[in-house]
Amino acid sequence: MRFSTAVLFAGNALAAVQQECLANHNEDLAAFADCANKGALSFCLSNLKETDEAALKTCYTSAGCSDEDAAREAHYTLERCSELAKAGELKKRYNVAALPTLIPRAEAADAITDAPMVTGELKKRAADTSRGTACFTTFKKSTEQCDLETVSDKTQTATCYSTEISTSTCRSDVICTTDASAADMCMTKREMDTAAIIIAIVFSGCAALMLVWLICMSCRDR
């Protein structure tokens, strides 16, 4: 019984955090969407009673997104709310962490400064994926090319000579792959910064303590 109560409490706490995020940041979250009417999406997010992915997907669909785009944006929305919640918890513990600043794709190149000011404003972050030739580096490569000729119905090598051909390879700062239609795409490699490492350590510790507590409560019930 205590185990079930603890799980229910954890679920309710998560839902409350997500509800608070949608209520306080609905306009900023709506600004992230590339496929929806921002005003309609913001209104829908601020009035959601349920905060799971299915409910969020309905908001994005009703605001003009396709089913595929709505599912992706709903998932990203929960991730962004989780980032805000983590930043807020770390600030409570250390009184140094600020809410994350996410930079719009269109403004990413102009937003880099030597000493950026940290704010609690939620912004779009730069695109993590690219497609086509943007994923590759082109260079010249020396190779040997041979002409073929047919003699007495047999194909044999004739003259060989050195030549240069253009080839390409995946850029060192991305991970290359293909999508469902076999088109080339790539994702930017990202390394965890100091703040992200601290957040990961703190929440891993909290998760471990919660697991130990739940196991102890379960054993006591027996």
Q: Quick: pLDDT tens for 74-95.
A: 888 888 888 877 776 544 444 4
Give which of 77, 70, 74 is closest to 29, Cα–Cα: 77
d(C-alpha 96, C-alpha 150), whole Å: 78
Mean pLDDT of 132-145: 85
Residues forming a β-bridge with 138 = 168
Q: How many CA atoms lie within 13 A of 181 on its CB side?
A: 4
pTM: 0.37
d(C-alpha 213, C-alpha 219), whole Å: 10
Around Cβ 100, how many Cβ atoms within 10 Å? Answer: 21
Reply yes or no on whether the pLDDT at 13 is more than 80.
no
Reply yes or no on whether the pLDDT at 20 is more than 70.
yes
Please state the separation of Cα 100 from the chain's center in Å: 14
Residue 39, classed as helix, strand or coil, is helix
d(C-alpha 125, C-alpha 185), whole Å: 19
Helical ranges in 63-101 per DSSP H: 67-94
Mean pLDDT of 33-62: 86
The secondary structure of 119-183, three-state, reads CCCCCCCCCCEEEHHHHEEEEEEEEEEEEEEEECCEEEEEEEEEEEEEEEEECCCEEEEECCCCC
Please tell me which residue, 47 or 99, carries the higher pLDDT value. 47
Mean pLDDT of 3-8: 42
Reply yes or no on whether the pLDDT at 120 is more than 50.
no
